[in-house]
A and B are shown apart, each in its own frame.
Chain A
Amino acid sequence: MAVLMSPPALRSEPAALPKPRRVSPTATVLLLLGAAYCLLPVLWVLIASTKSASELFNTFTFLPSTHLFDNIAFLSSYRDGLYWRWMVNSAIFAGGGAAVSALVSAMAGFALAKYEFRGKRVVFNLVLAGVLVPGVILAVPQYLLLAKVGMTNTYWAVLLPSFISPYGIYLCRIFAAATVPDEVLEAARMDGAGDGRAFFRVALPMMRGGLVTVFLFTFVAIWNNYMLPFIMLGDDKLFPVTVGLSGLLNQGATQPAMYTSVVTGAFLSIIPLVVLFLSLQRYWRVDLGAGAVKM
């Protein structure tokens, strides 16, 4: 494993919280304050999306109203359901980008972890340099290069740059080293499996848990990305929901009625990710420092 210090021993079962010793009121209060701070804007957007345009700025902030479905209907009717197109686009960008990126990273990580070959050190250093190069600084030159081949303002302009994730490769190398024993690969080879078969049939299933983590990381990074689609896309039918909503907010400056749609759109847009998070919470166990990921 790529570790900074010796591999940490796992303390009991990390799934459950430690058995409460004497309950500390201070700890409880501080944690609840933290939770309140984090939930406040989410609670607000839930309540605000039930308000009509006239209520949004004129009733008490946390007083719910009854217009949620009117607001959703109004937002859905905006330019023939453009909002839902944005949601579908976000799903395509994040889902497609993360799936391909996870596979590309798994193959590269597997090669780096399980083979000795010329140029291995160079490749690994390139990956590390890629982790440290701030991604969004690449957006402008990426745009200019894709413009040269006429690919800007297409889905590919956002998808292709998302397919490569140096951090994903780095994580996959650790997963492959930690979860795929050399003996198992050797056994597969004895049985006559080629390298490709050994990878897809033997190694990939063993790396499954780690790949879900890499997929989630990349999915969130792409779903949350703003600058790349903002620069690459001109046609608002191709926008992901982040770029679309910030455009709607701009319109709100001249037509305040749009604010209700912005708020409702913001509320609806966070539901899929929140569901994804809560249902896959156990995969978020990344120990950056040890360079290892607990599963």
Chain B
Amino acid sequence: MRTRGAPYAFLAPALVLFAAFLAAPVLYAGYLSLRRVKVSGLGLGAGARTEVWAGLGNYTRSLTDPEFVPSVLRVGAYGLVVVPVMLGLALILALLLDGGRTRVGTFTRTSIFLPYAVPAVIASLLWGFLYLPRVSPIVDVLDRVGITAPDALSSGWVLYAVANIAVWGGTGFNMIVLYTALRSIPTDLFEAARIDGASDIQIALRIKIPIIGPSLIMTFLFSLIATLQVFAEPMTLRPLSNTISTTWTPLMKVYRDAFVRNDIYSAAATSVVIAAATFVISYGFLKLVGSRAFSQES
């Protein structure tokens, strides 16, 4: 290559932005998580409130907060519902489309992908209204046959109500990713099995699914990361329901601590905990499945 400096020049904008908006915030959050405000005297006047080192105090406070553990467990349960249901549906629909035994392929593929174009806030808004007993067509239908439907936004159901919004919004995108992977399998790999009398289901289970394994791993990973960050859906549903607290998910707690309580130190500590947990889980998952996804070698 001609100019030695050229690759650095091409990388410069990305590296500057990376340093300013990814690396610096991470380091700053780490720094803040170890600081606290010390109030001297009555806390009045200049210099009465000073920032000092806090050791791991913010972490102990954050981790032992009676609202933190329930929010983590809630998101764990939410993830256990969302990820398998969403990816299961996406895989089944992708296999059905790829099987080609239907005339409604293009229409259904487009329809199922459509929710990806709807922001989570708007999706929560739409579903939020559909959950209201006075609007819900499901409640309407059940009413007519004499069944009283449970209130989707009551405390027992609200987790599933939020999970449904995520499944609705995410299935189509994951389906397209898996479908793209299925379309790139050479036909002869399963034509032979078909001639030998293997059924579509056998071909799907024995040939197609193992081949698209890497795509399944990556969709799983991205879904997992998205799940741990759930924020927009419960925040949007809050005005419609009194069952969603201000600390319903860990990220909502970060928001409340930082902006409602003005305790940025504790919020920073919680952020660091969530980021570290997400990183450990996703990295651990990649190790577990022995994936070389993201490999650098050509």
Contacts and interface: CB of A to CB of B under 8 A. Distances in A.
B232 A41 contact: no
Contact of A290 (B214, B222, B264, B268): B214
Contact of A288 (B9, B11, B113, B177): B177
A30 B96 contact: yes
B85 to A, nearest CB: 12
B52 interface: no
A18 B102 CA distance: 10
A172 B102 CA distance: 35
Contacts of B219: 288
Chain B binding surface SS class: helix
Interface residues of B, number: 120
A126 interface: yes
Given A57-B135, A164-B14, A31 B96 contact: yes
A140 B255 contact: yes
B296 interface: yes
Given A9-B186, A30-B96, A266-B122, A107 B239 contact: no
Interface in A198-257: 199, 220, 223-224, 226-227, 230-231, 242-243, 245-246, 249-250, 252-253
Contacts of B140: 60-61
How many of chain A's residues touch chain B, expressed as a range? 35 or more
A155 interface: no
A99 interface: no
Contacts of A115: 1, 6-7, 10
A17 B7 contact: no
Contacts of A160: 17, 20-21
Contacts of B181: 8, 287-290
Interface of A: 1-5, 8-12, 14, 17-24, 27-28, 30-32, 34-35, 37-42, 44-45, 48, 56-58, 60-62, 104-105, 107-108, 110-112, 114-117, 120-121, 123-124, 126, 128, 130-138, 140-145, 160-161, 163-164, 166, 169-170, 177, 189, 194-196, 199, 220, 223-224, 226-227, 230-231, 242-243, 245-246, 249-250, 252-253, 259, 262-263, 266, 269-270, 273-274, 276-278, 281, 284-291, 294
Q: What 6 A-B pairs come out closest when comparing CB atoms?
A: A289-B215, A289-B214, A18-B100, A141-B25, A108-B14, A111-B10
Interface of B: 1-4, 6-11, 13-15, 17-18, 20-22, 24-26, 28-29, 32, 89, 92-93, 96-108, 110-123, 125-130, 132, 134-137, 140, 168, 171-172, 176-177, 180-181, 183-187, 200, 212-219, 222, 225, 228-229, 231-232, 235-236, 239-240, 251, 254-255, 258-259, 264, 267-268, 271, 274-275, 278-279, 282-283, 291-298
